[in-house]
Amino acid sequence: MNKNINLKSENPFVSIIILNYNGIQYIKKCLESVFKTVGCNFEVILIDNGSTDGSSLICKEKFPDIKLFQNKKNLAMAGRNIGIDNANGEYIVFLDSDATVDPYWIQNFIKSYLEHGPGLYQGKILQTGNPEIIGSSGNLLNIFGFGYARGNGEKDNGQYEKFEQISFPVGACLFSSLEIIKKIGYFDESNLLYLMYDDVDYGWKALSYGIYSFYEPNSIIYHPKSTSSKLNSHKMFLLNRNRWICLLSYYSTKTIVRLFPLLLLIELGLFLFLVIKGMGIAKIMSFFSLLKMYPSINQRKIQLNKKKKLNDAEMIFHFVNEISLPATMSNSKLHTIFGKIIKNLSKYARNLI
């Protein structure tokens, strides 16, 4: 790992950028926990993503020291970009407004960053109100573009206590230096990945630029149980379409062609599964949407390639063969069979790239 770190001081200043959208039931507790942070100097930048519940203005009254910026509409993760432009810290941490934090979270991030080197960092995500259950112990990405939160739904028995490299950081809390964030650039503002897969996209973009992601278990963040495991047609539409946007954006055309027979087999399997679940039409519509968006995706790919440092073979070294579902969903026979097929196809795919 590259440990060439150029920081200005031994006690660096941190910009905590909190993204809020109609978070009136969460944001107060989030800010209360953030202001209990110890071991560093920090500023709090609150980005309101077009809320209609008055939550951000209420917080500004209660916490007058925060810097408040208001977007006219919900820009999803791209709403964080105004925070990047106005950050004064040597470090940046992005935090969702429904998260709460351990007082030593940033101190442990900084310690790890200084020890292990530049990159994107995530901590251990535990469920709010049920902290013995893991939300994420590092996010992993499969060769075919399936991203998942490792350990999601598992009881925390100390099985994920090692610092290690991961594929991409969880969207709810991401830590790095301002220097690294500026090298990666903004969160996608094209709306191509609106509301789904934007965390995968940012981590994949960083990786393609030669910037790795890491899991630091001593930084603890609490986040409500994800509802992403609940299947519905709109969610499946976005997951399928946006996964393909990432595949087409970051893999070369040569790689897509080589993987196409395997991808076709996987898509047929997914389609049959969704037909059984009554959501087959969502799969079909996602590909029609993808075709319509292809010119924009191709332009995006051209821009991303200008800064690309890792080729596809180098990138997949940081991906996994497995896919995973939350512990509450992984007992289905169909899921088990599909997982085994994906694992074997992924092993074979490595020889094609």
Query: Could you report the per-residue pLDDT of 129-146, keeping only the tens digit for each?
Result: 999 999 999 999 999 999
Cβ neighbours around 158 below 10 Å, total = 6
Angle between helix 333-349 and 253-276 (nearest 10):
170
Which residues have C-beta within 8 Å of that of residue 180, sequence separation ≥ 6? Answer: 118, 119, 120, 211
Length of the chain: 353
| Placement of tokens 């609150």 in the chain | 46
Helix then strand count (H, E) for the chain reads 11, 12
Confidence (pLDDT) at 3: 47
Nearest Cα to Cα of residue 89 among 116, 117, 115, 110: 110
pLDDT along the chain (353 residues), means of 10: 50 94 95 97 96 93 96 92 98 98 98 98 98 97 96 96 98 98 94 84 98 99 78 89 97 98 95 90 96 96 97 98 70 79 96 95
What pLDDT was estimated at residue 154?
A: 95
- Output the pLDDT for position 21: 95
Q: What is the rounded CA–CA span in Å between residue 238 and residue 232? A: 10
Domains plus CATH for the chain?
A: 13-223 (3.90.550.10), 233-349 (no CATH)
Evaluate if pTM is beyond 0.85.
yes
Nearest CA to 139 out of 108, 171, 117, 109 is that of: 171
Strand pairing partners for 44? 16
Distance separating alpha carbons of residues 136 and 151, to the nearest angstrom: 6
pLDDT of residue 2: 44
Largest alpha-carbon pair distance within the chain? 58
DSSP-derived secondary structure letter, 252: -
Q: Which residues pair with 42 in a beta bridge?
A: 14
pLDDT for residue 10: 67
**pLDDT tens, position by position, 62-116:** 999 999 999 999 998 999 999 999 999 999 999 999 999 999 999 999 999 999 9
What pLDDT, on a 0 to 100 scale, did the predictor assign at position 232?
A: 87
Alpha-carbon dihedral of residues 326, 234, 274, 344, nearest 10 degrees? -50
